[in-house]
Amino acid sequence: MEVATFGAGCFWGVEETFRKIPGVKNTVVGYMGGTVENPTYEDVCTDKTGHAEVVQIEFDPAEVSYEQLLDVFWSSHNPTTLNRQGPDVGTQYRSVIFYHTPEQKRAAEASKEKMDRSGKWKDPIVTEITPASAFYRAEEYHQRYLQKRGLDSCSL
């Protein structure tokens, strides 16, 4: 098993998107990339902790590649809006790839460059690619939030 961590706006919809991919064995939502230990959702929402809302994915690389997960990442949000997705604004909603290995870093950078060249977006991609840091699991009511409510996606 391998681990991947992505921030692409509100973690509820991001988790649901990745959870459904064959080869993804587990998803957990939480916070990464900030300066406060053990932040709560309320802390992160102050926009003062530096954390992003993320989904941490455990996947079987024999069933789904990291590159395939990157493709899902790019197609599941707008990587050109700085610190926002739809109506959600703040650094916690930033577009970010947290890499866990040098191979993930190389793949993420190559994928971002490919997306930049694709012309899919008229504005520049602002997605951060940064080393994974401490992951803090979000409160239980955030885990599989949409699934618990019988929803497939957030309404933006």
Which of 10, 32, 44, 52 is catalytic? The answer is 10
Neighbours of 149 (CB within 10 A): 8
Rounded distance, CA 131 to CA 143, Å? 24
83 contacts 94 by C-beta, under 8 angstroms: yes
* Helical segments of 20-119, H only: 41-45, 66-75, 102-118
10 is catalytic: yes
Phi, psi angle pair for 57, to nearest 5°? -115, 130
Single-letter amino acid code for the residue at 48: K
Catalytic residues: 10
